A and B are shown apart, each in its own frame.
Chain A
Amino acid sequence: MTHEAQLVVIGSGPGGYTAAFRAADLGLDVILVERYEVIGGVCLNVGCIPSKALLHAAKVIDDAEAMADHGVTFGKPKIDAPKLRDWKNEVVGKLTGGLKLLAKQRKVRVVHGVAKFESDNTLILDNGETIRFEKCIIAAGSQAMMLPNLPDDPRIIDSTGALELDPLPRRLLVVGGGIIGLEMACIYSALGVEVSVVELTDSLMPGTDKDLLRPFLKVVKPRYESIMTGTKVTGMRATVPGIEVSFEGKDAPKIGVYDRVLVAVGRRANGDQLDAEKAGVDVGERGVISVDKQMRTNVPHIFAIGDLVPGPMLAHKASHEAKVAAEVAAGEKSAFDARTIPSVAYTDPEIAWVGVTETEAKAQGIEYDKTQIPWAASGRAVSLGRSEGFTKLLWDKQTERVIGGAIVGPNAGDLIAEIGLAIEMGADAADIGMTIHSHPTLSETVAFAAEAYDGTLTDLYMPKKR
């Protein structure tokens, strides 16, 4: 069978479905190709959404426990893992079902199969069907990387397997101290699992400002069995009692036995899984496809977006790139012009940052000022029993506009949006500080940080700098 379309989008994750829908809204005849039965990609099915459902469960458990110190005691929670899994699947089902409906309403044809290029206007699917297209958007995402030479054992899982909670282990080792690994650690720890984390580099969440980790570590260190940074996993052996893992590092034991090992050492772009060279598309190292500001590959009628193009592998980046690609494919003069892409770790406490980090500013020689508000100064944070966090803003010394921000604490991921808007709008301290923030909210801490720079802060005493 041969399909024909003006635009074919390969992959139905947040990049792919956004591109398909936007292009359809602009009048193009669109086919969306998905290799799995359910559309939505990693984000909806085995990423952002299910993990957040489980993180919510984790937070309820932790919050309930924390209230014991303040006069409200619950019984020890009973974890019904299958039921929890069903609920998570229900959440996913609701969203993917909604997505299917959105595709139908727009008359986007969804075709299932693994697509590979045959030429620069033909795709061939693994079921033998072909799709002829005028333009194509490659949105085939990324996949979890595995360590080499691991024993073939069901007790060694990736993030997809970890979301299954099947069954809940007693001791879990998370290999990789990045965002994905730490979110999973957070879920499993709340569900009563003894969690250890091992990270190759000297610090968790490599690349983030170190100060953001301090409040986080204050919370998780006492809860986890161990956090081993600067430690290499040198081997794994499947044994009857568990997976025997050997380490090499200053604070690590030589060997540990875990009944589950989650490998979360990063993700790898899928750009080289598509025979893209048959379409003339240049694929770079590690499956990454280079694009211009309009998301075009070196072949001008073939676009690429999301995890398989340079930049952070984030759903919200993919969906913005998707709109640019769809609009350009439809003849509009769009370009990816975002000045900043926020990053969030949905751990407890959450860590979020946007714009220039201090680490980057120092590396790039950017002249900046910093204002930081400890959440101990926020009535709301204290009344939540969560005053360990802080909000910090970075300012351009010359323009006095906000160029970066970071928040640690509950709901940091939601709070960071305001700073992103401020950066995109070129707001300065007065713009933020003179916008009335509701009291008492955590969002006030953003205003406080701006007031601190503006010299108008009264909620803290700060010795005069300016």
Chain B
Amino acid sequence: MTQSIDIIVPDLGEFENVEVIEILVSAGDMVEREAGLITLETDKAAMDVPSPENGVIEAISVAVGDSVSTGDVIGKMSLEVSDTVVIAPALLHEPSGDTTVLATPAKPAGESQKTGGVQTLVVPDLGDFDDVEVIEVHISNGDEVDVEDSLVTLETDKAAMDVPAIVGGRIESVLVRVGDKVSEGSSLAIIAARVEATQTIAVAVEKKAEPAPAAAPAVVAAKAQAPPTGAGLPPINEAGFASAHASPSVRKLARELGVDLSQVKGSGAKKRILHNDVKAFVKAILTGKAGAPAGAALPKTPSIDFAKFGDIEIQPLTRIQKISGPRLQASWINLPHVTQHDLADTTELEAKRQELKGPARERGISLTPLAFILKACVAALQEFPKVNSSLSDDGKNLVFKKYIHLGFAADTEQGLMVPVIRNADQKSVYELAQELGELSLAAREGKLKADQLQGASFTISSLGGIGGTAFTPIINAPEVAILGVSRSSMQLVWNGSEFEPRLMLPLSLSYDHRVIDGAAAVRFTTFLGQVLGNVDGLLEGSDA
């Protein structure tokens, strides 16, 4: 006898409204189970919708160019059902429930008590991970497993984790092997589940059609007409949901929107999750800003058609500008910047530098003022290690670095670059000056290697060679401070009894106020000024 069933689109994962690009069969065609019926194309790949059963195509109800989603009916097929031969059980996906398939026969006696239907065990939500490797398979065909028994072990780059069985029963077929890559929703095994009184059956699990002996065709036909059974719920962290601090009405809203309350931060009293928190969570996901801070939706600057006001020329940003721009903006938005200005007396330092400059040049070293400033910063950072620290990602800890790697802003034709002098605390002024020269040259020639641009714990931006009296540099986050240096100038300084001409160097320290408070910042610049005033100290350990 013959039975007709709907052919439905299987789980397409994240895709919806996928275009039909080819129809592979037509009415009357005999098809085997798993044979391709139509081809769909997503923006990632083309895929065939396989035949759920052996049978004859009655009709294909979609055309090339149509869009389909998981669960859509794409046609009908008839199955040959014999009274004596039992069709091999097929896996039919059943997302909306009632569109499927064969009438259910009376089960063999005794079995109805034991089996809760055949289900596919899938990989649960893995958080951020995709394509995780299976490193161990703990089950094989025919094994009896209980709820919570481990099926496989997966290994991400952070941790290994076991995937437990969500139902107990007998493993019909293991679908993965060691070395396979799986993601959330990947099938692991097919299980003949035991029914337990307290067990709830997961919504929209893949479900096997019962092997169907003689069954009334009328029933099947009527079934196909039944309307969809309402939307199922997306799988969520039920334990987390159950302990979320949210009232029943908020929980109802969350269920409707499919929001996992365990991931929502409450803004109400005592961190209670409010209606608006659920809505904001959804909005953040929809706009792709999930996890972004509340200030992410910044007002935009006006866009103006400059050509209205005169001739213009468009020039693309350089590669380095494109990289540094967002970083500078992120730092400016995320870090509460304060800039402390100060003046350091470098009269003696400059005199000494002039004296040492010539002999140094003979050794191929350009003894610039910046080399001395770097050396002085080492001393100041050793005195104030907080300025050499960073805030941890979660904002709860300070990370103190036991090394001092100094970045310095280098102006190049390509844009702003920050080469890094590693272990500056282990280097003399001459060594610093030499490395400064080498790195500056490499920067200008575009020959810096990646590791010469990484790892800075504090940065100096010296514009003194050009001019200026003060500026507010942007911190090279996640560092917590940056020293800006402007042009030194002769100023009359009151020494207690008279005005004296002194060579004063303007220092501008921008700092992250979450880590460094104002008093600490000014102590740092004051200390730095004292160090710069003691040139002999700076030259200690130098072999010149």
Question: What residues make up the interface of A, taking CB atoms closer than 8 Å to B?
Answer: 119-122, 132, 134-135, 277-280, 282-286, 288, 290-294, 296-301, 310, 328-335, 337-339, 399, 401, 424-426, 428
Contact = CB atoms under 8 A, between A and B. Distances in A.
Contacts of A279: 104
A134 B227 contact: yes
Contact of A301 (B229, B255, B258): B229
B197 interface: yes
Nearest to B238: A293
A335 B200 CA distance: 13
A323 to B, nearest CB: 11
B290 interface: no
B133 to A, nearest CB: 32
B233 A335 contact: yes
3 residue pairs, one from A and one from B, having the closest CB atoms: A300-B97, A280-B104, A331-B230
Given A121-B219, A426-B246, A334 B201 contact: no
Nearest to A338: B248
10 contacts: A119-B216, A278-B104, A284-B196, A300-B232, A301-B97, A310-B197, A329-B230, A424-B248, A425-B247, A426-B247
Contact of A333 (B103, B222, B226, B258): B258
B384 to A, nearest CB: 39
Contacts of B229: 135, 296, 300-301, 328-329
Nearest to B242: A339
B195 A294 contact: no
Contacts of B228: 331
B197 A119 contact: no
Contacts of B251: 337
A294 B248 contact: no
Given A119-B216, A284-B195, A332 B256 contact: yes
A283 B106 CA distance: 13
Contacts of A291: 200-201
Interface stretch (B40-48, B112-120, B486-494, B520-528): B112-120
B98 interface: yes
A123 to B, nearest CB: 13
A290 B201 contact: yes
Contact of B116 (A120, A282, A401): A282
A278 B247 CA distance: 40
* Majority SS at the chain A contact face: loop
Interface string B191-230: 0000111111111000100100000100100110011111
A325 to B, nearest CB: 10
Contacts of B117: 282, 298
Nearest to A311: B198
B94 interface: yes
B231 interface: yes
A298 B96 CA distance: 12
B261 to A, nearest CB: 10
A278 B256 contact: no
A389 to B, nearest CB: 29
B272 interface: yes
A370 B94 CA distance: 48
A301 B226 contact: yes
Interface in B226-260: 226-233, 238, 241-242, 245-248, 251-252, 255-256, 258
Contacts of B198: 290, 310
B264 to A, nearest CB: 14
B107 interface: yes
A291 B203 CA distance: 10
A282 B232 contact: no
Interface string B461-487: 000000000000000000000000000
Contacts of A298: 116-117, 201, 207
B363 interface: no
Nearest to A132: B222
Contacts of B107: 277
B200 A292 contact: yes
Considering residues B94, B210, B242, B252, which has the most beta carbons from chain A within 10 angstroms of its beta carbon? B252
A331 B197 contact: no
Nearest to B256: A333
A292 B255 CA distance: 14
B197 A334 contact: no
A426 B231 contact: no
A307 to B, nearest CB: 13
B319 interface: no
A86 to B, nearest CB: 41
Contact of A337 (B222, B226, B230, B252): B252
Contacts of B272: 426
A120 B104 contact: yes
B103 to A, nearest CB: 7
A288 B210 contact: no
A334 B247 contact: no
B219 A119 contact: yes
A290 B116 contact: yes
A298 B195 CA distance: 10
A389 B230 CA distance: 48
A280 B210 contact: yes
A279 B97 CA distance: 14
A337 B226 CA distance: 28
Nearest to A428: B270
B233 A293 contact: yes
Interface in B90-125: 94, 96-98, 103-104, 106-107, 112-113, 116-117
Contacts of B201: 290-292, 296-298
Interface string B394-414: 000000000000000000000
A292 B202 contact: yes
A9 B270 CA distance: 43
Contacts of B270: 426, 428
Interface in B434-483: none
A293 B200 contact: yes
Considering residues B112, B200, B232, B233, which has the most beta carbons from chain A within 10 angstroms of its beta carbon? B200
B227 A296 contact: no
Contacts of A328: 229-230
Nearest to B231: A333
B246 to A, nearest CB: 7
A425 to B, nearest CB: 5
Contacts of A401: 245
Contacts of B197: 284-286, 288, 290, 310
A310 B228 CA distance: 26
Considering residues A294, A300, A301, A399, which has the most beta carbons from chain B within 10 angstroms of its beta carbon? A300
B219 A333 contact: no
A290 B202 CA distance: 11
A132 to B, nearest CB: 7
Contacts of B232: 294, 300
B89 to A, nearest CB: 14
A89 B245 CA distance: 45
B109 to A, nearest CB: 11
A174 B124 CA distance: 50
A297 B195 CA distance: 12
Considering residues A278, A301, A339, A424, which has the most beta carbons from chain B within 10 angstroms of its beta carbon? A301
A158 to B, nearest CB: 23
A330 B230 contact: yes
A337 B255 contact: yes
Nearest to A287: B197
B116 A334 contact: no
Contacts of B98: 300-301
B447 to A, nearest CB: 57
Contacts of A132: 222
Contact of A282 (B112, B227, B233): B112
Contacts of B196: 284, 290
B230 A332 contact: yes
A297 B247 CA distance: 27
A67 B233 CA distance: 58
Interface in B253-293: 255-256, 258, 270, 272
A294 B233 contact: yes
Given A132-B222, A278-B106, A301-B98, 13 more contacts: A120-B104, A121-B223, A277-B107, A282-B112, A283-B112, A290-B195, A290-B199, A296-B203, A300-B94, A329-B230, A332-B256, A333-B256, A425-B248
